[in-house]
Structure 1
Amino acid sequence: MEMTDISRLCLVRHGETAWNAERRLQGHLDVPLNETGRLQAEAAARSLAGHTFAALYSSDLGRARETATAAGRALALDMTIEPALRERHYGDFQGLTYDEARARFPADYDRFHARDADFAFAGGGESLTAFAARIRRVLSRIAVAHPGEQVLVVTHGGVLDVAHRLTSGKALEAKRDFTIPNAALNWIEFDGGAWRLVAWADEAHLQGARDELPNG
C-alpha cells in the first residue's frame, strides 16, 4: 500500500452497563447501557464530531449499537452492523459475577484468570485463541475495505484487548498492563501488511470511565 492507502480505525468500547458496574460477565448476552453509559456515549459522540469518518461499524449487541447510534447522529453516518465484532462468548460464565464464576467453576476460572489461550468455556464459549482469530479477521476485513480512509468501530472490552495486542505485539497470554475504559477512543492503523498502535485510551471527554476487567 501507498502511505495514502493506510487505513485508520478508531475503536470505541460501548458505554457502561449495570453489569459492568456489578462485575458481571456479559459476553453475548444483550445488556443495555445504564444512565452513566448513555451519558458516556453522548460524550464520546461529541468528541468524535470533529473527525471525519468514511464509515461506522458496530457490534450487533445492544450496548454497542446504543453507543454507535449516538456517534452516528453526531457524524451523520449510517451504522453497519457487524456481528463478528461481538464480545468473547463466555459460555457458562455468562451472567455470573467474577466471584460467582470463581466459586462455581474453580478449575475453569483458574484457567480463565491465567489467560490460558486454549481454554474454551463450557456451554458454547470461545477459547482466547479462537476469539482473537475472529477479531483479527473482522478488523482486517474492515481495514482492507477502507484504504486511505478513517473508520469508526464500536465494540467491546475483550475485542479491544485483542486489538491492542494485535497492534503492539503483546502476547495473548500476557497479563494486561493497559486500560480499556468504557467509551474511550483508541486509534490503530493498517498498512496492508502490518498493524500499528497509534494512540490508546483517550478519555479526555469522560469522567471516571470504568476500566475493562483484566480477565476479558
Structure 2
Amino acid sequence: MILKSPAVSQVLLVRPGATEFDDQGRIKGCMDMPLSETGRQQVELLADQVSHIPCRTVYTAPCESARETAEILATHLTDPDRVDRGRPAKVKVIDCLRNLDHGLWHGKLIDELKRNHPKLYRRGQETPWDICPPGGESISDAQIRVEKALRKLLKKSHDDLVAIVIPDPMAWIVQAMLAGESLSNLWQAETDSGKWDVIDPVW
C-alpha cells in the first residue's frame, strides 16, 4: 500500500476542450491544434464548474488547445492572495507536459487502427504500457519525461492546489501516476472533451 504524504498538494487535472481531430475520432498526439467550436463550449462550461477553486497558477502543456483552455480557465480562477482585487490566476507553459508523440499514427482514425491492426488495438486495450508507434514515443518513456516535472510542481506548491491542463492521452498517464492506478485502454483515453478531476496524489 502506498501512503500519501500529508504535505502533498491536491491536483486539479484538466483535459483541454476538443479539437477538430478529437471531434472526428482522430489521433492528434503532439500535433498543435486549436480548440474546435465544440471544444470552446466545453471549456466555458468547465471553467464555470471550477470557478470556486482558489488557484495562483495554471500550468499547461504547450499545445494550442491546452494553452487556450488554460487562458480561459485562469480568468475564472482567482489567486487566493489577491481575491479582494479579483486577480485571475497566472498561466505558465511547461514543455515537459506536452502530449504523447504518436509518430506515424498522427491523423489516423482510431477506428482505422482497430480495423487494420486488430492485434495492436487489443494491446492498446489490455497492455498499453509498452506500445510505441512508428517514429513515436512509448508510454513508459512519456511517464519518465513527465514525472520529474510533476514532482517539481508539487514540491514548489507549498500545499496549495496545483492546476494542470494536459491533453489526453498524456492526462490519462498523469492521472494513473498520481492516483497509483494501472493503465488500461489507451484508445478510450485518446480524445479530449473538456473534463476535470481533483486528485489526491499517492506520492
The TM-score range, normalised by the shorter chain, is: 0.7 to 0.9
Corresponding residue of 2:134: 122
The one-letter code sitting in structure 1 at the alignment partner of 2:52 is: G
Paired residue secondary structure (2:71): helix
CA distance in 2, matches of 1:116, 1:45: 31
| Structure 1: tracts of 5 or more residues without a match | 196-216
The one-letter code sitting in structure 2 at the alignment partner of 1:119 is: I
CA distance in 2, matches of 1:36, 1:53: 26
CA distance in 1, matches of 2:148, 2:178: 14
Q: 2:200 aligns with which of 182, 189, 214?
A: 189
Corresponding residue of 2:76: 74
Q: Is the 8 A contact 1:60 1:83 kept in 2?
A: yes
Paired residue secondary structure (2:130): coil
Structure 1 residue 97 corresponds to structure 2 residue 109: yes
Corresponding residue of 1:13: 15
The one-letter code sitting in structure 1 at the alignment partner of 2:196 is: L
Q: Is the 8 A contact 1:55 1:150 kept in 2?
A: no
The one-letter code sitting in structure 2 at the alignment partner of 1:141 is: K
1:83 CA displacement: 1.5
Post-superposition Cα deviations, 1:71-129, rounded to whole Å, max 9, x if no partner, equal 11223122100121122111100111113334566665554454342232112x11111
Q: 1:135 aligns with which of 146, 154, 159?
A: 146
Cα distance 1:122–1:2, how it changes in 2: closer, same or farther (>3 A)? closer
Cα distance 1:46–1:116, how it changes in 2: closer, same or farther (>3 A)? closer
Cα distance 1:181–1:25, how it changes in 2: closer, same or farther (>3 A)? closer
Cα distance 1:2–1:24, how it changes in 2: closer, same or farther (>3 A)? closer
Post-superposition Cα deviations, 1:115-169, rounded to whole Å, max 9, x if no partner, equal 342232112x111111122232222221111021112111112122113322343
CA distance in 1, matches of 2:5, 2:181: 27
CA distance in 2, matches of 1:23, 1:137: 31
Structure 1 or 2: more helix by fraction: 2
Q: Is the 8 A contact 1:12 1:186 kept in 2?
A: yes
**RMSD (Å), alpha carbons:** 2.6
The one-letter code sitting in structure 2 at the alignment partner of 1:21 is: D
Write out aligned runs for 1:167-186 (5 A): 167-172=178-183, 174-175=184-185, 182-186=193-197
Q: TM-score, normalised by structure 2?
A: 0.80
Corresponding residue of 1:210: none
Corresponding residue of 1:147: 158
Paired residue secondary structure (2:12): strand
Paired residue secondary structure (1:157): coil
Cα distance 1:117–1:67, how it changes in 2: closer, same or farther (>3 A)? same
Moved more, 126-135 or 109-118: 109-118
Moved more, 82-91 or 157-166: 157-166
Corresponding residue of 1:85: 97
1:19 CA displacement: 0.9
Corresponding residue of 1:158: 169
Q: TM-score, normalised by structure 1?
A: 0.76
The one-letter code sitting in structure 2 at the alignment partner of 1:98 is: I
